[in-house]
Each structure stands twice: as C-alpha cells, then as structure tokens.
C-alpha cells in the first residue's frame, strides 16, 4: 500500500461484456459503492471501496465492458481513452481482469493488450462453478506462468475462492519490479511511430504511445496542437491504422490460442447442452416472440397482484401519520406545510414503491439468467426494419425502468443512425415514473374484473399502455429510418451466455441501488414541487383569497351548511383563487377539449419536472380543497377519504358532469404514455446527441402527438 497517500489507490475491474465484472464488484464492495459518470459524458460507472486486511481502503472502479483497445462503441472508447492517459483521475494503479473461463480464448485479446501497458495486473477466471459443471479443467499454475501474472479461479455467483482473490488483490499494490516482456512485438513502422510519439509526448510505454497514433483523432484529452503533431508523424511514417489493427489482432490470436490449448482441457463436444435445448424453444422464430410477450404480460400481472398489500400498508401509514400530526400539532402554517404539502406529496410517490421495486426485481432476474441477451439476438432482424438493431432492445426494455440510463446504454450501438433513432424513441417506452399515474387512473376507470378467469381488465389496460408506447416507438423509428440517410455499416456481434441460476445477492444489490436512486431522485423533486405547490395553493394575488373566503361564506349560508362543510367549501374556493388555481384556470381552455379541468392542468405543468409528480400534485390539491360534488351529503369522514375517492367525486362546475369519466381517464393515460415530461431525459438526449436541436424536436413531436392522441380518445369514448 502507498504510504502517506491521501487518496486511496485505484484498482480497475476490466473485462469483456458478460464476463461477470459487476457480480465480482458487488462481492468485493457490497453496499460500499456508488454510481457516477465519467467527466463530461453520461456513461455510468461504479466506484466502491474495498477494505484490506490491514484496515486500509482501496477504490475499485468497475469500467464498462469492452472487447479490445480498438473500440466500436462509445463505451469502449471511454475505456481506451482512460487507459491511454496516465493523467486521467480514474487511471488505475493496478488492474483486475475478469474473464469467463468457459470461453477464455475470446477474452484474451483485451488481456494481452493490457499486459503491454506494463501495469500490475491480476486475472480472475470467473464462472468456476459453470466450468466444473461443464467438465472444463484449468491448469491455473501453468496459465499464470505462461502469462507472467497471478491467476485466480473464482465464482462471482457463489463466492468460491473470493478470499484468495482479495489476498492477491492486496499484493497487486505492493512495490514490485515489473519485468514482463511485451506480449506483442511491434513491427518496424509501429516502432518508428511509437518512438516518435514517445519523444514528443514524454510517454514511457511504447504500446500506449502506439494507441495515441491509432486514436488521436477522437481522444478527448488531446488538444488540437497535439493532434496535429501526431497526424504529422502518422503521415510521415505512412502509418496505416486499420491495417495494423488487423495485423496486431491476428498476431495476438496466433500467440494466445496455443496457450489456451495447453492450459485448458475441454470435455468432448456434446451434441446439445441444456442451454441449446432451452434456446431451441426460447429463440425459436415463432415461439420465441410469443414467449417473450407472455413473459412481459405475466410481469405486469405480478406488478398489480403482488403489490396490493404493501401499497395499502404504506397508504394507511401515511394517513395515520397525517391525522396524528394534524391533531397533535398546533394550528399553524408550518403544520399545514408539513401535512398538506410535504407528507401528502411524498405519500403520492412512496405508495408506488412496491410496484417499482417489483419491476426492477423481475427485469434484473431476467438479465441474470441470461434471457435478455437472447431477446437482443431474437429481435435484431425486426429492429432493423424500424431503423435500429438488436442492441436497441436493451435500451427499450431498460426504458421500462428509466429512460435516462436506457438512453445511456445506447452507447453500445456503433452505428450513428441506429443509435440516434434509439435515443429518440426510447422515451416512448413506459418508464417506472409513469406507473404511479397509470395505477391511479386505471383504478379510477377500469373495473376489477377477471377476463378468462385469470387476467384482470386492469392488467390488460396496463399492458396496453406499454404496447402503445412500443408501437409509437417503432412507427417513429420507421419514419426516421426513411428520413435519415447514412452509409455507415451496421452489424450485431453478441455473445449468448449459458443460462444460469441468478446470483441473488447481486439481484438484491441491483434492486436496492435502482429503487434507492429512484426514491431519492424523485423524492428531491417531489419535495421541492410539493412545497412550492403548497405555497402557490395557499396564497393568491392581491385580496383574491379574502374575496374567495367571503363569497364562500355567503354561499355556505345560502345552502345552510354546518361548520364542517362550510370550512370545506371555503378551502375549495380559496384553492381556485390561489396562484395555483389561477395557473390552472389560465390553461384550462387549451386542455378542456381533452376533458381536463384546471386541477389536472396544474398536475400537467408540474409533471414536466418529472412524470411521477402528477400523483403528488393531485394529492396536494385534493388535500388543500375537497371535491365539490354532493357537498351536502358528505360525512365527517371526508377528511380521511383517499385521493382516488376524492377524484371520483370531482365534477365540472359548469356542467355538473364527472371530471374523471372513463373518457377522461383513458385520455390522460394515453397522454402520459406518449408525452415527453421529463427534464432529465431531455438533458441526457441533448448530451448524447451533442445538440439541443434533437431534444427540442423530441419534446415538440412527442407532446404534439400526445395531445392529438388524447383528444381523439376523448372524442371516441365521450
């Protein structure tokens, strides 16, 4: 360990996609981790702390998966850029290379390139349990001698040999004399280019200097003068980058393929493995898509059926807490802020945490068992018809959790046109932030009846909202495919892992991380919006509030209302006169054709901060002023009524018709399924496309489409 270091040493976890890096990272760090971004870009990385036996800490960095130093996607470019720049803040002091032992030969290209950087490196051969089941035998000692680095056989899923891995990991940071010879011998032209760059840039490592020659045009840490210098060297030496990349790759395979054969004993080939037999059904041309859609339908059914009780408990708990605070705290504006603003707004989102947690849980399980990779493979041809490729499926399915990381995942798509289309259409997929809106509106409009004795009508409508988003995404993708022109080649290369039992610790850590990020991120927004909305709902322009109070008292006297119902009417009229009411009334003419009133208008406005604020906004509004219908018939238990019950009683004052009719509820569902109402997503789209032009286009197109579709639904069902 470095003595006197104020910053903990950094160890990078690097490996190919699907090598099990994240599982081992979770094993080593547990909950001592956080997700961040590379400076200036939006690709997620994980950083965690590992405690050594002497009590000191080491920072572990889980880099995106990459196949080689010659990248074809933005994720891979980031790894190459960091390792080409020793001044980068995330440049590692040592490397733990994670490789899948069941297909080791495919993973050694990147390893041998890392070896030539002359950094301390340790190889963790992952999937030891799977190798044992398949009858694969590994001579770890001989492999270590051949490569000249420590090699540990581990299983990230079961934790096998993890103590040995941690011991070797600590040894990586001890002072040592690195005497490894380069794995790849540079040819004469490569040597000349490398030497010239080393002299001009004071670079010690020849292979790192060669990487500058290959990638100088896009490396972000080089300034224009430095790029010009390298360009001159490359032109002078007649350095043909693509040709030498191919030659180097072939030379490395020629060297390490015999090494694998000497150290790995593969069992005789089996005609069909269990994975092959499962794939014969799950990736079948016709059965595969049917099983996929059936799986998604069951997932939606589970979200509804399994989360009823925890939702009721959360809702009851907040109701009890609110009632207790209102009776025990003094009558003061701070009490109103706490009960009518903060707690009511938070209750409007936290009550839906069970559904969101279930969504993340089930999707994570599908990823862990290896099914999601099959989905990418299965739908590649279909996705190309709509301007995308199989990797776009990952982004679209990820969009069902949150569009922000889903859009980031599109960086694995090498083709610019396909990546842009994926970025533009992913927000159509119903994300977890839409779930609270769907659940409230479906509960209002759709009866709890079973269809065929199994699936409920609510489940089918819920699934229909997802289907609507998918259809809109595909049609938009098709239109953009015809509109955008590019000759950039497109291809899909993907490794299908064997089916595995999920590593449950990894599943729970992932769910915990995702749900925590959702709750904390949404909670901040909702807290701010709820406080602002409470203030806008409690105060109004000039003497509007006093006038509204006087008018309500006269109306109550004319109706001969008792004290409780008079206070209720006063609150309703004050809400209409408040700043929030004025805002809602101002936009009501524009949204009335959709069947919406001014309260829904306020919720639509606040939803542009984040969709899930819709429910919190309505919770605050209906807590500030009760519904108008049947004002003479309500009991004293009105204050305890849920938001959904209050919404069911809401009517238009001019017509007396219910606001939340079937037509209005379905119209709102369609609007929220199609509209762009997430500032974070717009910001990420701008960063990923490099221009606000695409973000503004996306916002205008999705919002306009949502308005027209919602109006059409209102006309048809009214």
Between CA 77 and CA 51 the distance in angstroms is 30
Query: With helix as H, strand as E and coil as C, how does 462-528 read?
Result: HHHHHHHHHHHHHHHHHHHHHHCCCCCCCCCCCCCCCCCCCCHHHHHHHHHHHHHHHHHHHHHHHHH
pLDDT for 206 equals 94
Nearest partner of 123 among 131, 145, 133, judged by Cα: 145
Could you tell me which residue, 479 or 518, shows the higher pLDDT? 479
Question: 10-172 sits in which CATH class?
Answer: alpha beta
pLDDT at 299 > cutoff 80: no
Q: What is the pLDDT of residues 432-457, one digit of tens each?
A: 778 778 888 887 777 777 766 666 77
Could you tell me which residue, 581 or 667, shows the higher pLDDT? 667
pLDDT at 654 > cutoff 50: yes
The whole-model pTM stands at: 0.63
Q: Which residues pair with 47 in a beta bridge?
A: 34, 61
* % the chain with pLDDT above 70: 83
pLDDT at 545 > cutoff 60: yes
pLDDT for 633 equals 45
pLDDT band at 643 (very low <50, low <70, confident <90, very high): low
pLDDT at 422 > cutoff 80: yes
Between CA 287 and CA 295 the distance in angstroms is 12
pLDDT at 297 > cutoff 80: no
Average the pLDDT over 38-53 and give the result. Answer: 62
pLDDT band at 641 (very low <50, low <70, confident <90, very high): very low
Name the average pLDDT for the chain: 80
pLDDT for 671 equals 93
- When mean pLDDT is compared across 213-217, 530-534, 632-636, the lowest value belongs to 632-636
pLDDT band at 657 (very low <50, low <70, confident <90, very high): confident
368 contacts 507 by C-beta, under 8 angstroms: yes
CB atoms inside a 10 Å sphere around CB 132: 15
pLDDT for 215 equals 93
Pairing of the two strands 264-265 and 137-138 = antiparallel
pLDDT at 472 > cutoff 90: yes
pLDDT at 4 > cutoff 60: no
pLDDT for 644 equals 66
Q: What is the pLDDT of residues 148-187, one digit of tens each?
A: 899 999 988 777 888 888 888 888 888 765 667 889 999 9
Looking at mean pLDDT, say which of 4-13, 178-187, 634-643 comes out highest. 178-187
pLDDT at 95 > cutoff 90: yes
pLDDT for 1 equals 43
Average the pLDDT over 496-507 and give the result. Answer: 77
Residue 204 CB burial class (10 angstroms; 0-12, 13-18, ≥19) = exposed
pLDDT for 387 equals 84
Q: What is the pLDDT of residues 246-288, one digit of tens each?
A: 999 999 999 999 998 898 887 765 556 777 788 888 888 888 8
Pairing of the two strands 57-62 and 10-15 = parallel
For the beta sheet containing 33-37, the strands, ordered from the edge strand earlier in sequence to the opposite edge, are 33-37, 44-51, 57-62, 10-15, 94-100, 121-126, 151-153
> In the chain, where are the structural domains located?
10-172, 188-262, 271-539+578-718
Return the DSSP state at 53: T
Nearest partner of 496 among 288, 300, 261, judged by Cα: 288
717 contacts 666 by C-beta, under 8 angstroms: yes
pLDDT at 628 > cutoff 50: no
Q: Which helix (H) or strand (E) holds 396?
A: helix 390-398
Could you tell me which residue, 586 or 302, shows the higher pLDDT? 586
Between CA 450 and CA 228 the distance in angstroms is 69
Average the pLDDT over 290-315 and give the result. Answer: 78
Q: What is the pLDDT of residues 115-154, one digit of tens each?
A: 999 999 999 999 888 888 878 888 999 999 999 899 999 9
pLDDT at 681 > cutoff 90: no
pLDDT at 78 > cutoff 80: yes
- Which two structure tokens, joined as six digits, stand for 46? 């994980």
Q: What is the pLDDT of residues 503-515, one digit of tens each?
A: 787 788 778 877 7
* % the chain with pLDDT above 90: 23
């Amino acid at each position: 360990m470095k003595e006197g270091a104020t910053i903990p040493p950094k160890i990078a976890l690097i490996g190919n996609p699907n090598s099990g890096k994240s599982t081992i990272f979770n094993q080593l760090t547990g909950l001592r981790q956080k997700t961040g971004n590379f400076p200036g870009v939006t690709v997620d990385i994980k950083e965690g702390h590992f405690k050594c036996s002497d009590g000191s800490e080491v920072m572990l960095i889980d880099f995106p998966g990459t196949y080689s130093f010659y990248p074809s996607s933005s994720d891979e470019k980031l790894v190459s850029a960091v390792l080409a720049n020793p001044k980068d803040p995330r440049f590692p002091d040592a490397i733990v290379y994670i490789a899948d032992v069941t297909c080791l030969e495919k993973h050694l290209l990147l390893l041998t390139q890392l070896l030539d950087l002359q950094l301390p490196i340790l190889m963790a051969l992952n999937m030891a349990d799977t190798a044992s089941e398949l009858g694969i035998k590994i001579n770890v000692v001989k492999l270590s001698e051949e490569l000249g680095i420590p090699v540990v056989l581990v299983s990230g899923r079961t934790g096998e040999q993890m103590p040995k891995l941690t011991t070797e990991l600590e040894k990586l940071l001890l002072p040592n004399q690195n005497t490894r010879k380069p794995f790849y011998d540079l040819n004469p032209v490569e040597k000349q280019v490398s030497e010239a760059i080393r002299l001009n840039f004071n670079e010690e490592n020849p292979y790192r200097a060669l990487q500058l020659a290959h990638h100088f045009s896009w490396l972000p840490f080089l300034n224009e003068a430095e790029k010009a210098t390298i360009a001159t060297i490359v032109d002078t030496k007649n350095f043909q980058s693509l040709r030498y990349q191919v030659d180097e790759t072939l030379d490395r395979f020629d060297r390490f393929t015999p090494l694998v054969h000497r150290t790995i004993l593969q069992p005789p080939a089996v005609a069909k493995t269990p994975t092959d037999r499962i794939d014969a059904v799950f990736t079948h041309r016709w059965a595969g898509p049917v099983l996929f859609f059936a799986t998604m339908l069951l997932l939606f059914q589970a979200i509804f059926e399994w989360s009823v009780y925890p939702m009721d408990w959360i809702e009851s708990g907040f109701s009890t807490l609110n009632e207790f605070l209102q009776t025990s705290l003094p009558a003061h504006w701070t009490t109103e802020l706490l009960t009518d603003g903060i707690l009511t707004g938070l209750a409007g989102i936290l009550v839906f945490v069970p559904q969101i947690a279930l969504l993340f849980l089930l999707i994570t399980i599908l990823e862990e068992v290896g099914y999601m990779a099959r989905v990418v493979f299965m739908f590649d041809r279909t996705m190309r018809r709509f301007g995308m490729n199989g990797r776009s499926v990952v982004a679209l399915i990820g969009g069902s959790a949150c569009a922000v990381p889903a859009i980031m995942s599109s960086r694995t798509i090498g083709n610019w046109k396909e990546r842009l289309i994926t970025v533009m259409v992913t927000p159509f997929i119903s994300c977890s932030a839409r779930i609270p809106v769907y659940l409230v509106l479906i509960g209002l409009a759709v009866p709890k009846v079973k269809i065929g004795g199994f699936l409920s009508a609510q489940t089918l409508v819920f699934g229909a909202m997802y289907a609507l988003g998918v259809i809109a995404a595909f049609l938009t993708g098709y239109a953009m495919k015809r509109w955008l022109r590019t000759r950039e080649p497109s291809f899909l290369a993907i490794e299908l892992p064997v089916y595995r039992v999920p590593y449950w610790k990894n599943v729970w850590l992932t769910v915990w991380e995702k749900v925590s990020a959702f709750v904390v991120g949404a909670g901040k927004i909702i807290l701010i919006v709820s406080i602002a909305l409470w203030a806008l709902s409690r105060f109004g322009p000039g003497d509007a509030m006093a006038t509204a109070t006087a008018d309500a008292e006269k109306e109550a006297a004319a109706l001969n209302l008792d004290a409780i119902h008079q206070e209720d009417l006063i609150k309703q009229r004050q809400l209409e006169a408040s700043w929030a009411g004025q805002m809602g009334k101002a936009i009501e003419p524009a949204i009335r054709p959709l069947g919406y009133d001014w309260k829904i208008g306020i919720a639509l406005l606040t939803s542009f901060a984040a969709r899930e604020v819709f429910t919190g906004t309505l919770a605050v509004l209906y807590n500030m002023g009760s519904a108008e219908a049947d004002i003479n018939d309500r009991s004293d238990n009105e204050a305890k009524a849920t938001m959904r019950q209050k919404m069911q009683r809401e009517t238009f004052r001019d017509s007396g018709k219910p606001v939340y009719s079937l037509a209005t509820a379905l119209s709102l569902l369609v609007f929220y399924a199609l509209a762009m109402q997430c500032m974070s997503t717009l910001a990420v789209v701008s960063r990923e496309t490099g221009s606000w032009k695409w973000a503004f286009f996306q916002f205008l197109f999705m919002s306009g489409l949502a308005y027209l579709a919602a109006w059409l639904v209102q006309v048809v069902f009214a």
